[in-house]
């Protein structure tokens, strides 16, 4: 059962919590708005003495100071407007920074399962579109809500002071505006939630198109990608159109009701007994104040659009912030380890799956040995090795390193002793040296040695800037084999006691593989090496081979003993020899 989405009140209260560190700036902005609202009511307040004192009574004092007062009033209004805008802009930019920083920090500690179920485009959209909507709503809503509410209160007080009887008509306007705002708000919240989802889908399509442009060109996928993008873009257009129409519904309704009220006021005000009538200045001031009253009420009605956009965006942002991070309940530290690994009744099942992906397994991986894992695609090899650094958490059983349960060890301490080269090479848009030394403070000599051991030194030194060469997004300027060797060098420089190579040589040609194998042979001393086998040569060098099938280890032995058994391992190798391909990945 999915939990109910948070209410608007809950979201608003949580957002207000982010304003707490900036309460001084917030109060400064509020004071500026109070001054601005007071000056709004001061305009009709200045008109009455101005008209009665200058044009009717010809008072020389009013004739002298009325223009000065008018200039001073608008000077105060300008300074107050500037102050309130600056204050809320400062809060807005800080809010965006805080939310993005919190989301990014949460991403860094989320479990692998989150990334397996989440579309990356939706995550990116939260950092760009959603946070901007929250910020925009925060500035626009709070600015208008406070300023216009104060303005309405000030103008209402003034018109009641001038003529309380005529002012009673304004009570027709308030419930009308509230009902309109409520109807529009409910519709816009739903539309904004759908709009944000579609913006995430659009970001995902753009990301895939950028990353896969070669495949699109070679396979002629331009029409397909164009239609996919057009379908999402059309949904966004329709939703934005509906939102725009919904946002404008309130204004003509308020104007129509307001026009009726003003017409009634004019009729009654000009037909009352002479002793009840306002002066010329008083009537103009009353009518002006009433006219000024409609503008903030219309703006308050229009606030539902940015408010609901902001609330819908806050819902998705807070959903990310509320994702449960990796369970890091361990209290122990691993110092120097030998690398002995033992699985005891270990089981793992993916969320929603109807059977275990791994186990139950009881197996011991000997320290300082190379153990190869082979099996058909989907047999569980990659899942098996991902359990050791706790990229996935066991469903049952336990894994011990040097006799210590990995769940008792802090994640950072555990992973410091494990190096992983995955079949999907990830490099960063940085220099070669920084990619190799990633996460360490290795000096240039250690970087060179790691590159040499991975068979990468020759091609690195052939580059114009050597180790300082920028490699582009995910190493786009390098070949597949070169990227793979950099990833291996990055794993080797950590000097971890446990080395996991998940199809690490899959992108290497024969010569590159020979160089890497030479480096790995030298580095086997003092390391526990787990290799998900890709090439027969890698398997033959292993001290031990584990054959996986449907999450179980079905064969265990050396290359020679397993070939003599003529079981699953034998058939996989025969298939590789005759087809020229690997047994498969998992």
Euclidean distance between CA atoms 432 and 148, whole angstroms? 57
Euclidean distance between CA atoms 35 and 367, whole angstroms? 75
Asked whether residue 1 carries a pLDDT value surpassing 60, the answer given is no
Do the domains 8-321 and 426-495 sit in the same CATH topology, yes or no?
A: no
Give which of 582, 566, 112 is closest to 372, Cα–Cα. 582
Q: Given its phi and psi angles, is residue 133 left (phi above 0), alpha (psi -120 to 50 degrees) or beta?
A: alpha
426-495: CATH number: 3.40.50.300
Q: What is the pLDDT of residue 258?
A: 62
Question: Tokens 């626009």 appear where?
Answer: 140
Mean pLDDT of the chain: 78
Euclidean distance between CA atoms 43 and 45, whole angstroms? 5
Euclidean distance between CA atoms 139 and 57, whole angstroms? 45
Mean predicted confidence (pLDDT) in 520-543? 75
At residue 532, the 3 state secondary structure works out as strand
Asked whether residue 8 carries a pLDDT value surpassing 80, the answer given is no
At residue 108, the 3 state secondary structure works out as helix
- Beta-strand ranges (E) seen in 311-414 are 341-348, 358-365, 370-375, 396-401, 404-405
Degrees (nearest 5) of the Cα angle 97, 98, 103? 100
Which residues have C-beta within 8 Å of that of residue 257, sequence separation ≥ 6? Answer: 172, 173, 176
At residue 272, the 3 state secondary structure works out as coil
Where is 517: in which H helix or E strand? helix 510-523
Mean predicted confidence (pLDDT) in 311-330? 88
Buried b (16+ CB within 10 A) or exposed e, 253-286: bbeebbeebbeebeeebeeeeeeeebeebbbbbb
Q: What is the pLDDT of residue 16?
A: 82
Q: Output the CA torsion 287→289→294→297 (10° steps).
A: -150
Q: Which of 133-147, 227-241, 434-448 has the lowest mean pLDDT?
A: 133-147
Burial tier of 392 (Cβ tally within 10 Å: 0-12, 13-18, 19+): buried
Q: What is the pLDDT of residue 505?
A: 64
Which residues have C-beta within 8 Å of that of residue 328, sequence separation ≥ 6? Answer: 109, 410, 411
Structure tokens at 503: 């199809």
Q: Which DSSP category does 81 fall into? A: H
Euclidean distance between CA atoms 324 and 407, whole angstroms? 17
Asked whether residue 166 carries a pLDDT value surpassing 90, the answer given is no
Answer whether 583's CB lies under 8 Å from 533's CB: yes
Q: What is the pLDDT of residue 358?
A: 92
Percentage of the chain with pLDDT > 70? 72
Q: What is the pLDDT of residue 507?
A: 58
Is the CATH code 3.40.50.1970 the one for domain 8-321? no
Q: Which of 346-355, 430-439, 510-519 has the lowest mean pLDDT?
A: 510-519
Mean predicted confidence (pLDDT) in 330-357? 90
Delimit the domains of the chain by residue range: 8-321, 336-417+497-507+526-586, 426-495
Report which of residues 14 and 144 the model is more confident about. 14
Side-chain-facing half-sphere of 210: CA atoms under 13 Å: 10
Burial tier of 116 (Cβ tally within 10 Å: 0-12, 13-18, 19+): exposed
171 phi and psi angles, rounded to 5 deg:
-70, -15
Answer whether 49's CB lies under 8 Å from 62's CB: yes
Beta sheet of 544-549, edge-to-edge order: 418-421, 498-502, 528-532, 370-375, 544-549, 552-557
Buried b (16+ CB within 10 A) or exposed e, 12-40: beebeebeeebeebbebbbebbbbbbbbb
Mean predicted confidence (pLDDT) in 474-498? 81
Burial tier of 393 (Cβ tally within 10 Å: 0-12, 13-18, 19+): middle
Which residues have C-beta within 8 Å of that of residue 161, sequence separation ≥ 6? Answer: none
Answer whether 77's CB lies under 8 Å from 39's CB: yes
Fold for domain 336-417+497-507+526-586? Rossmann fold (3.40.50)
Give which of 120, 127, 122 is closest to 102, Cα–Cα. 127
257-306 pLDDT, tens per residue?
A: 666 666 766 666 666 545 555 565 566 666 677 667 777 777 776 777 77
User: Is there a cis peptide before residue 103, judged by omega within 30 degrees of 0?
Assistant: no
Structure tokens at 199: 């913006």
Q: What is the pLDDT of residue 586?
A: 45
Beta-carbon count within 10 A of 522 CB? 11
177-226 pLDDT, tens per residue?
A: 667 666 666 667 677 777 777 877 887 787 777 767 666 766 677 887 88
17-59 pLDDT, tens per residue?
A: 888 888 888 888 888 888 877 776 666 656 656 655 555 555 5
Report which of residues 269 and 511 the model is more confident about. 511
């Amino acid at each position: 059962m999915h939990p109910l989405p948070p209410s608007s009140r809950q979201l608003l209260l949580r957002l207000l919590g982010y304003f707490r560190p900036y309460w001084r700036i917030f109060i400064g902005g509020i004071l500026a708005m109070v001054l601005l609202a007071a000056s709004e009511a001061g305009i009709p307040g200045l008109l009455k003495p101005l008209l009665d004192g200058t044009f009717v009574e010809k008072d020389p004092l009013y004739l002298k100071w009325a223009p000065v007062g008018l200039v001073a009033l608008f000077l105060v209004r300008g300074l107050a407007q500037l102050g309130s805008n600056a204050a809320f802009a400062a809060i807005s930019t800080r809010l965006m920074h805080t939310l993005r920083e919190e989301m990014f920090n949460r991403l860094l500690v989320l479990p692998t399962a989150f990334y397996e179920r989440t579309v990356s485009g939706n995550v990116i959209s939260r950092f760009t579109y959603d946070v901007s909507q929250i910020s925009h709503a925060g500035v626009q809503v709070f600015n208008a809500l406070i300023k216009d509410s104060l303005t309405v209160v000030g103008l209402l007080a003034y018109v009641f002071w001038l003529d309380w009887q005529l002012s009673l008509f304004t009570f027709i306007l308030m419930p009308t505006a509230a009902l309109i705002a409520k109807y529009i708000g409910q519709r816009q919240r739903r539309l904004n939630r759908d709009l944000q989802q579609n913006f995430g889908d659009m970001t995902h399509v753009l990301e895939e198109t950028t990353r896969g442009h070669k495949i699109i060109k070679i396979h002629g996928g331009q029409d397909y990608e164009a239609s996919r993008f057009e379908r999402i873009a059309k949904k966004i257009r329709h939703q934005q159109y509906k939102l725009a129409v919904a946002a404008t519904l309130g204004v003509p309704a308020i104007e129509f009701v307001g026009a009726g009220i003003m017409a009634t006021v004019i009729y009654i005000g000009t037909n009352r007994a002479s002793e009840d009538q306002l002066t010329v200045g008083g009537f103009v001031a009353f009518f002006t104040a009433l006219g000024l009253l409609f503008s903030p009420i219309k703006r308050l009605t229009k606030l539902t659009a940015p408010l609901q956009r902001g609330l819908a965006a806050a819902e998705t942002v807070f959903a990310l912030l509320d994702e449960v991070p990796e369970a890091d309940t361990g209290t122990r530290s691993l110092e120097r380890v030998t690398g002995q690994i033992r699985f005891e009744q270990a089981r793992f099942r993916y969320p929603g799956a109807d059977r275990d992906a791994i186990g139950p397994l009881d197996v011991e991986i000997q320290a300082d040995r190379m153990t190869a894992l082979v099996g058909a695609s989907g047999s569980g090899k990659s899942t098996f090795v991902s359990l050791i650094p706790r990229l996935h958490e066991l469903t049952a059983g336990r894994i011990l390193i040097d006799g210590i349960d990995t769940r008792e060890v802090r994640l950072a301490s555990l992973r410091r002793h494990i190096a992983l080269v995955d079949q999907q090479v990830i490099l960063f848009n940085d220099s070669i040296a920084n990619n190799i030394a990633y996460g360490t403070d290795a000096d240039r000599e250690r970087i060179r040695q790691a590159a040499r051991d991975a068979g990468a030194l020759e091609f690195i030194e052939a580059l114009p800037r050597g180790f300082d060469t920028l490699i582009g997004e995910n190493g786009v300027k390098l070949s597949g084999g070169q990227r793979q060797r950099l990833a291996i060098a990055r794993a080797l420089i950590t000097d971890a006691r446990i080395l996991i190579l998940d199809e690490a040589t899959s992108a290497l040609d024969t010569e590159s593989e020979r160089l890497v194998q030479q480096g790995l042979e030298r580095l086997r001393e003092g390391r526990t090496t787990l290799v998900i086998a890709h090439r027969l040569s890698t398997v033959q060098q292993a001290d031990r081979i584990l054959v996986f099938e449907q999450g179980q280890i079905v064969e265990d032995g050396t290359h020679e003993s397993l070939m003599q058994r003529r079981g699953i391992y034998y058939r996989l190798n025969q298939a590789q020899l005759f087809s020229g391909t690997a047994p498969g990945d998992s």
